[in-house]
Structure 1
C-alpha cells in the first residue's frame, strides 16, 4: 500500500476519532431539558335516574387535578328510552334492560383499554324516593336489576343509590358555578386559577317529583338541616339548600287535580287550568297512585272521573296558590310551606322544568315579570282549539299542561321561593351552558373526583432537537469514514497478495 494512502487513512481515522470525541462532549455538556408528557385522560359515567326519564352522561378529566378536584368536561349525553326507573316497580327487569342501549353507546366512546377503570354511578332522585316510601321491597328490586344490567359491562360500577334532596340541590349548584367559572377558570397565563372577588350563583331545579333551591346566603344558615358545606378546588363553601318532595311538576299537578276532585265531591271535575273544551277520563286509582296525594276514604278505586277544562286564569292561579302554605310562624324567614329559608341573594340559574315550562311559551329571554304574567294569563284564557293552533307540533300532554305548568312555575318562584319584582331579573332560565347540560350529574362527577386518586404530571428528560440533528450528522460522517477505512484495508490486502505472486 502506498505511503500516501496510509497517510490519508491515518488522517481519516484520526478525524473520525476527533469527531466522535467532539460529539460526546457536545451531548454531555449541552444541558438537557425536562418535558411534560401529555396528561392521561380519565372517564366517568353518571346515570341521572329521574322520576320521568333517565339519562346517561359521559364525562372525562385529566388525571392530574387542580387543588384536588378534576377539571371535568361532558363528552356526550344519552337519553334512555321509556319512563323513569321508578315506573318499573312491577317490571324490575325492564328497568335494567332500558339502560343497555346507552351503555352500548358509552362503550363506543370510551377507549377499550380504559373501560374497566371508568367509575360508573347511578343516582336516583325523587321518583325512587317516592317508590321507596310506597314499597321499599319493590324499590330494592329495581335497584338490583339496574345494578345487574350495569354490572354486565366492563366498567368500575360503584353502585346505584337514591340521592338525598340536599345532594341533588348541592350538586346542581356545583354544576352551575363550575360552568360559569366562578369556582375555577382558565386564565390568560394558560392555567387554571381561582377567580378573585367573583360572586357565586344560586341554583333552582324543578324535576318531576321534587324541586330544589341552593344558594350562598348573606349570613350564617340558622337551620343546620338546610346547611351544606363543600370543599372544591381548595376553597370551602357554606350554602343553604333544601329540596321539597312532592313539589316537582308532575306531582304538584297531580296534587292540584286531587284537590279539585275532593272539592267537587263528584265524578265530574271542572279544571280551571285546562283549556276550555278539553276533556279526559281517568280512574280514582290512577289519580291517587302516589304518596303525594291521599284518596278520600269513600272513593272507589275503579270509579271513572271525567275532567273538563274551563280555562279560567284567575281561578287557576288561586287553585295553584292553595297548594302552598304562606305561614312562616315563629321561625323567621321562610320559603315554601313554612320551611326556613334566608332571603334569596344574588343571581340564580333556573333549569330543568323551570326552563322547559317557560321556554314553551318563549319566556326564557329575560322578559319582565309583568310580561311573563300577561303571557301566562293569555294561555290560561285559551280554548282547546286555540292552544292547538298556537302549538301545532306539541303533544297532547304539553298542550293540556301549558297553563297549569307555567302557572305552577311562576307561583313556586314567587310564593314558594319568595322572589319578587325586584329580584325577578336575577333569575336566568337555561338548559345548557357552553354546550353542557345543566343538572346535578356534572356536579356529582366533580365532587366524586375529589375522592378519585390524582395522577401527578410525568416529566421526561428530553434532549434539544439541535443535538439530535448534530448527532445524526456525526454518525453519518463516521459511517462514511469507516466505509473508506474498510475499503482501503481490502485494497491493501489485495495489493499484498499480488506482490507475493
Structure 2
C-alpha cells in the first residue's frame, strides 16, 4: 500500500462550520482547524508549489532539438517527434494509474475536496450541500474500552450543512475471561493489536471498496489502558497503529491529531454529550433548544456532562456563572456556543467500583483480625452479594498492604436482605468527606454546581452500565431515582421467600440475576453514585438508553464527526495497480 493525498495547495474555502474544533489538544474547548496548508515534511519542498507541466517537457524537447540539429536530423521530424513525446508524457502524467480496479469513478471535484464515488447514492438528496464534500461519507471509530473493544462504522450524507447519520454498523470483540480489551494484553502489544482484526473485518465488509482509502479511522482507548502506565500503553498503541497502517486500507489520523491514543477523560464525556444531543436534534439545527445531560458509567471511569442554567441576576447584581477550572468546557457547534460542566472520575467505573467496595470489606476484616489471616481461607460474608449466592473475587490491594498486592476470596451473601448495609459501603467508596476546595462539591472533593439548582428540569440520560444492569431487570426507559432504590432493595433480598417472583415474567431477568451474584452491589453503587454522589433528588426522573433513533449512544459518534474533514488530520490512502 502507498499513501497519497489530494492537493492541498489551495486553502479550503469553507471550514466545517457546525463543529468548531480548533483548540490545541488536551483542550477546554472543541474546535476544528481553520483554513491552512498542511504540508508533509517528507515531501519535496516544491510539492505544494506546482510548476506548469509543460515546462520540463519543453525544456527536454529543446535539449533534444539541439542534439538533433547537431546530428543533422531534418527539423520537421524533430518537431513531429517532440509533439508525440509531449502527448505521451501528458497522457502518462494524467492517467489515474494509482487507483485500483473500479476506482476510476472516484473524483475529487476540486483540489480541496475529498474524493468521492459517483455511484454512491442516498435517498435523502441527489447533490451534496457543498461541492467540496462527497454526497456520501464513511468514518470509523474504535472504542478500546477496559472490558472490550468495539468498532462503529458510520455512514453519513452531506445533503445539508450538518452531516446526517444514515446508518451505523457496530461490532464488539468476543467476550472472554479477564476481558477482551487492549489492556487485557499488557505484555503482548502485537496480540493486542491483532485483537482488533475481528472489528476491522466488519469495516472492510461494509465500507464500499472504492472509498476505503478515503475512509478515516481512529482508535481511542479509555480508562483500562490508562491504568497500565505510559510504557505499556504506548507499546500497545504503537502496535495498533502499525497494524492499521500495514494490514488495512483505511487512513489513520495523524499521531498529533489523536489517531491512536489514550483519550482524555474530559473529551470522552463531552463527545458523549455531543452524540446524545446531536441524535436528539438539540444541537446542529436552527433551534436553540435546552440540551440534555449525560451520565456515562464505564468499567474504569464515569463521566458527567451538562450545560448548567444559572438564575438571572437580581437588579444591580452580577450574573452567576460557572466557576473557572478544568471542569469548564467551552464548545461551539452548529453556530451555537455552549459552556459545559464536565468531569471524568477515573476509578469510579462499575468494575473499579466493585474492586473499591470489596477492598473496603477486606480492610475492615484485616483490621479486625490483625495478623491472624485464618479468615482469608474461609467464605467472607459480603452484604453486597445476593443472599444465598457466592463468588470468588480477586481483590487488588493498596501498595505495601500486609496481605500482598491482591487476595482472592470467596465472597458470600448474607442469610437475609442487607441492601441498606450494601448501600452504606457503596457510599463510603465515594469519599464524600474529602476536602472541598471549590464549593459546592459532589464527591471525592470535586467541584460541581448543584443539579437541583442549575439543571432541575432538563433531560438526564444514563447509559453504558446504567442501561446494561437495569434494562434486563425490567426497568422502563424513564424512571425516578426512588424506583432504582426499590429495584436495588428487591434484588438484594434474594430469591428466597418469593421476592424475585416479579422478575419471572421478564424475559432473561432470572438468568441475569442468577448468573450475577454482584447485581446487588452494582445497583447500590449506581444508586449511591446518582443520589449521594451527584446529589440528584430522589424524585428526579432520568432516562436510560442504549440507542437513539437506532444509533448507539456513547462518545464514539461525537468523536467521529470531525473525521469527516481531512483537516482533522488524515490523507487518502490509495493502492497502486500492480
1:280 has 2:395 as partner: no
Q: Name the CA distance, whole Å, in 2 between partners of 1:303 and 1:204.
A: 32
Tell me which residue corresponds to 2:122. none
1:309 has 2:413 as partner: yes
The question of whether the paired residues in 1 share the 8 Å contact of 2:265 and 2:344 is answered with: yes
Q: Name the CA distance, whole Å, in 1 between partners of 2:298 and 2:562.
A: 21
1:414 has 2:531 as partner: yes
C-alpha displacement of 1:223: 3.2
1:338 has 2:448 as partner: no
The question of whether the paired residues in 2 share the 8 Å contact of 1:70 and 1:450 is answered with: no
TM-score when normalising by structure 2: 0.64
C-alpha displacement of 1:104: 1.5
Q: Name the CA distance, whole Å, in 1 between partners of 2:412 and 2:362.
A: 11
1:176 has 2:276 as partner: yes
Q: Name the CA distance, whole Å, in 1 between partners of 2:482 and 2:126.
A: 57
* Aligned counterpart for 1:91 among listed residues 188, 210, 216: 188
* Aligned counterpart for 2:473 among listed residues 361, 364, 374: 361
**CA pair 123-65 structure 1, distance change in 2 beyond 3 A:** farther
C-alpha displacement of 1:90: 2.6
- CA deviations on 1:339-362 (whole Å, 9 max, x unpaired) are 011122122111111111221322
What SS is found at the alignment partner of 1:287?
strand
**CA pair 41-304 structure 1, distance change in 2 beyond 3 A:** closer
- CA deviations on 1:230-265 (whole Å, 9 max, x unpaired) are 121222211111000000000011110011011111
Q: Name the CA distance, whole Å, in 1 between partners of 2:427 and 2:323.
A: 27
* Aligned counterpart for 1:210 among listed residues 301, 308, 318: 301
Q: Name the CA distance, whole Å, in 2 between partners of 1:385 and 1:223.
A: 54
The question of whether the paired residues in 2 share the 8 Å contact of 1:278 and 1:384 is answered with: no
TM-score when normalising by structure 1: 0.73
Aligned-residue CA RMSD (Å): 2.5
* Aligned counterpart for 1:146 among listed residues 240, 259, 271: 240
Q: Name the CA distance, whole Å, in 1 between partners of 2:302 and 2:137.
A: 32
* Aligned counterpart for 1:201 among listed residues 285, 289, 292: 292
Tell me which residue corresponds to 2:149. 54
The question of whether the paired residues in 1 share the 8 Å contact of 2:151 and 2:199 is answered with: yes
1:437 has 2:543 as partner: no
Tell me which residue corresponds to 2:427. 321
C-alpha displacement of 1:365: 3.4
Structure 2: 5+ residue stretches without partners: 1-124, 129-133, 254-258, 311-320, 367-374, 569-578
* Aligned counterpart for 1:45 among listed residues 132, 140, 150: 140
Matches within 5 A, 1:60-71: 60-63=155-158, 66=161, 69-71=162-164
Q: Name the CA distance, whole Å, in 2 between partners of 1:384 and 1:207.
A: 31
C-alpha displacement of 1:108: 1.6
Higher RCO, 1 vs 2 (CA within 8 Å, ≥6 residues apart): 1
- CA deviations on 1:416-457 (whole Å, 9 max, x unpaired) are 1110134x11x211111000000000011124446648xxxx
The question of whether the paired residues in 1 share the 8 Å contact of 2:157 and 2:166 is answered with: no
Moved more, 358-367 or 168-177: 358-367
Structure 1: 5+ residue stretches without partners: 1-34, 185-192, 454-501
Q: More helix by proportion, 1 or 2?
A: 1
* Aligned counterpart for 2:488 among listed residues 350, 371, 376: 376
Matches within 5 A, 1:66-77: 66=161, 69-77=162-170
- CA deviations on 1:376-429 (whole Å, 9 max, x unpaired) are 111112158977995443386x5212111111111100111110134x11x211
1:127 has 2:239 as partner: no
The question of whether the paired residues in 1 share the 8 Å contact of 2:436 and 2:447 is answered with: no
The question of whether the paired residues in 2 share the 8 Å contact of 1:47 and 1:54 is answered with: yes
Tell me which residue corresponds to 1:165. 265
Rg: which structure is higher?
A: 1
* Aligned counterpart for 1:257 among listed residues 346, 355, 358: 358
Q: How many residues are aligned here?
A: 395
**CA pair 130-309 structure 1, distance change in 2 beyond 3 A:** same
Q: Name the CA distance, whole Å, in 2 between partners of 1:314 and 1:270.
A: 15
**CA pair 348-62 structure 1, distance change in 2 beyond 3 A:** same
Q: Name the CA distance, whole Å, in 1 between partners of 2:185 and 2:485.
A: 38
What SS is found at the alignment partner of 2:511?
coil
Q: Name the CA distance, whole Å, in 1 between partners of 2:390 and 2:487.
A: 23
The question of whether the paired residues in 2 share the 8 Å contact of 1:213 and 1:243 is answered with: yes
C-alpha displacement of 1:131: 1.4
Tell me which residue corresponds to 1:111. 208
* Aligned counterpart for 1:394 among listed residues 512, 525, 529: 512
**CA pair 174-380 structure 1, distance change in 2 beyond 3 A:** same
Q: Name the CA distance, whole Å, in 2 between partners of 1:163 and 1:367.
A: 32
C-alpha displacement of 1:130: 1.1
Q: Name the CA distance, whole Å, in 1 between partners of 2:303 and 2:470.
A: 17
**CA pair 234-382 structure 1, distance change in 2 beyond 3 A:** same
Tell me which residue corresponds to 1:19. none
Tell me which residue corresponds to 2:120. none
- CA deviations on 1:133-161 (whole Å, 9 max, x unpaired) are xxx22212211222222221011111210
C-alpha displacement of 1:319: 0.8
What SS is found at the alignment partner of 1:174?
helix
C-alpha displacement of 1:60: 2.3
Tell me which residue corresponds to 1:496. none
Q: Name the CA distance, whole Å, in 1 between partners of 2:279 and 2:445.
A: 32
